[in-house]
Structure 1
């Protein structure tokens, strides 16, 4: 097997450092991609530090991958050498369960294979992610990039942050005539604001930080509410069709459930290391409100999201970093010290 330069961690308490990994030779249905940029997701940090108690070491994170096709198998039909391509959070699924047949591979009943850290439910190989020079992926899990090459760094986070927010917005019908709230203005939240605005919804950003008011409006929010201000919150009670909650830390869900109108839904996409406090049941039953969750999107919907973003000129707001800055980036990410997503320039790994 050919070796590839990468960055990996051997344990939960170790920093990421240079490492060499084996990649398989491209098979007949495989696409080999030279990785140009890889986004840095909070899930990378959770996994590298084993905060979800499922990490297989050594661990090479990275599932927001964009690059150029450098080889294809003889059965590959949709990609050619030289194409711009992306890889998100999945590189395989069982292909025969009901969700897979419906194009919802992220809900594969047998567990999709993550781009890093192997199959979600254990067994099989320990997959290595995008903090590397190249990757080999089955064609069915590779995505076309329609953005201009000069915008590739801002495209990388769409493969996770973009689809994580796009999927629930589409599923719950965000669009003209709908009032949509977005809780939190981080890597996920800033994409939620951009996408909901592009879909035509009336967008309200909830943030605890007055310093983010202007940025929220720049990104597309029609209104910004300081969620710690009871008067501002009361003015919006019982008025939202949908709320996208992107906060990845435990917090009181009730204050946002009370913002929903009859039959409104709040969907959680942040993944806290510790559970949220249990919500008050009466906040649900008195208005037939729904509290839901959503996990990325299938390959078909991810391609739809990428095409939508290309059409509307949407990318993530990013800070591009060299590979050897990753451990510092993790510490800054914990402090929310980035607007709004780190992206690694993989040329720095040479």
Structure 2
């Protein structure tokens, strides 16, 4: 027998999320059972529930920015104890044998990492369901320790937005003396500003929208460039060692490539898909510039990120909502009407009749 669970699920791409009863697997010896307390709402949840990527399997229980409390641990679990606060991000398993997995890069698993929801468990073939629910059951290798002192509510989005912004900064060696630009001020962008500042870099926000300077400086930016202002963009041509592009939709990246120094790097972390208009390779070749992509982070690096946040007091700027408000939150996300991440209080599920 599995564990009877209540959560919120999308039953089709055009229906609102509603109460859904389902079963979690019976815990295995290496499993941790977690009472979900809070979870961040990611754009991926919206895209998944509405089948924007064409891969949705219904009913779907979204949610991969999970913070909770351990309620049980299998016989083989040694790193976690009942009562501890823990986190679960975008993955709950991987093959553990391929070269990326052995290198701590489970997100790039050659066989494909097992997603927290809308995927199949690689051991029993059962559907994975996410954090929009009372409990999750996760193998201990994919559970993370929450540092003491962090606001658990505001820490929930670190499990996706946080690591997505942190990983490229670490991989491309952002450090004191580096000149870093962050393109876009949303869930990813506001975290990239905080991390880049804490790493000691000189950080600039590039945004299409004037009037964001006060917010950007509060979040860590030293300066702000409005990308629709030709003079401002010309002034930063050839300026940056690293540009983190957080924009989640198709857009012209050529103007941002032009802001890179010789041997500079632009990393895309927001948009999945075709680059349109096309990238002009001349700007790359003549200055040995590079355009790359980065996707979340491995478990080891995610724990490093959480510990960094604990050391520096970094959390997300959030707006708390009840689970019953999720569809309205999705609509507000599409309108960029949140600063900068929604977080759901799981206690609100109790307001739904059994």
Distance 2:125 2:223 in 1: 48
Distance 2:152 2:276 in 1: 35
Residues 1:125 and 2:126 aligned together: yes
Q: Specify the SS of the correspondent of 1:344.
A: strand
* 1:208 CA drift (Å): 1.2
- Equivalent position of 1:99 in the other structure: 100
* 1:277 CA drift (Å): 2.1
Structure 1: stretches of 5+ with no match in the other structure? none
Over 3 Å counting, the alpha-carbon distance change for 1:4 and 1:120 in structure 2 is: closer
- Equivalent position of 1:154 in the other structure: 154
Over 3 Å counting, the alpha-carbon distance change for 1:282 and 1:112 in structure 2 is: same
- Equivalent position of 2:39 in the other structure: 38
Distance 2:272 2:17 in 1: 22
8 Å contact from structure 1 (residues 112, 119) kept in 2 = no
Distance 1:100 1:221 in 2: 35
Distance 1:63 1:276 in 2: 29
- Equivalent position of 1:203 in the other structure: 203
8 Å contact from structure 1 (residues 112, 120) kept in 2 = no
Residues 1:49 and 2:46 aligned together: no
8 Å contact from structure 2 (residues 121, 128) kept in 1 = no
- Equivalent position of 2:276 in the other structure: 276
- Equivalent position of 2:15 in the other structure: 14
Distance 2:188 2:65 in 1: 13
What is the CA deviation profile of residues 209-247 of structure 1, one whole-angstrom value per residue up to 9, with x for unaligned ones?
Answer: 122110000000000111111111111100100000000
Q: Which runs of 4+ in 1 moved over 6 A?
A: none
* 1:275 CA drift (Å): 4.4
Equivalences for residues 222-261 of structure 1 within 5 A:
222-261=222-261
Structure 1 residues 243-252 or 124-133, which shifts more? 124-133
- Equivalent position of 2:60 in the other structure: 59
- Equivalent position of 2:175 in the other structure: 175
Structure 2: stretches of 5+ with no match in the other structure? none
* 1:125 CA drift (Å): 2.8
8 Å contact from structure 1 (residues 52, 273) kept in 2 = no
Distance 1:347 1:148 in 2: 21
Q: Specify the SS of the correspondent of 1:210.
A: coil
8 Å contact from structure 2 (residues 8, 132) kept in 1 = yes
* 1:274 CA drift (Å): 6.1
What is the CA deviation profile of residues 99-145 of structure 1, one whole-angstrom value per residue up to 9, with x for unaligned ones?
Answer: 00001000000000000111599x93321000001100000000000
Q: Specify the SS of the correspondent of 1:11.
A: coil
Distance 1:25 1:119 in 2: 16
Residues 1:163 and 2:130 aligned together: no
Equivalences for residues 323-342 of structure 1 within 5 A:
323-342=323-342
Q: How well do the aligned residues superpose, as a CA RMSD in angstroms?
A: 1.4
What is the CA deviation profile of residues 291-337 of structure 1, one whole-angstrom value per residue up to 9, with x for unaligned ones?
Answer: 00000000000000000001000000000100000000000000000
* 1:96 CA drift (Å): 0.5
Equivalences for residues 284-295 of structure 1 within 5 A:
284-295=284-295
8 Å contact from structure 1 (residues 118, 124) kept in 2 = no
Taking structure 2 as the reference length, what is the TM-score of the superposition? Answer: 0.96
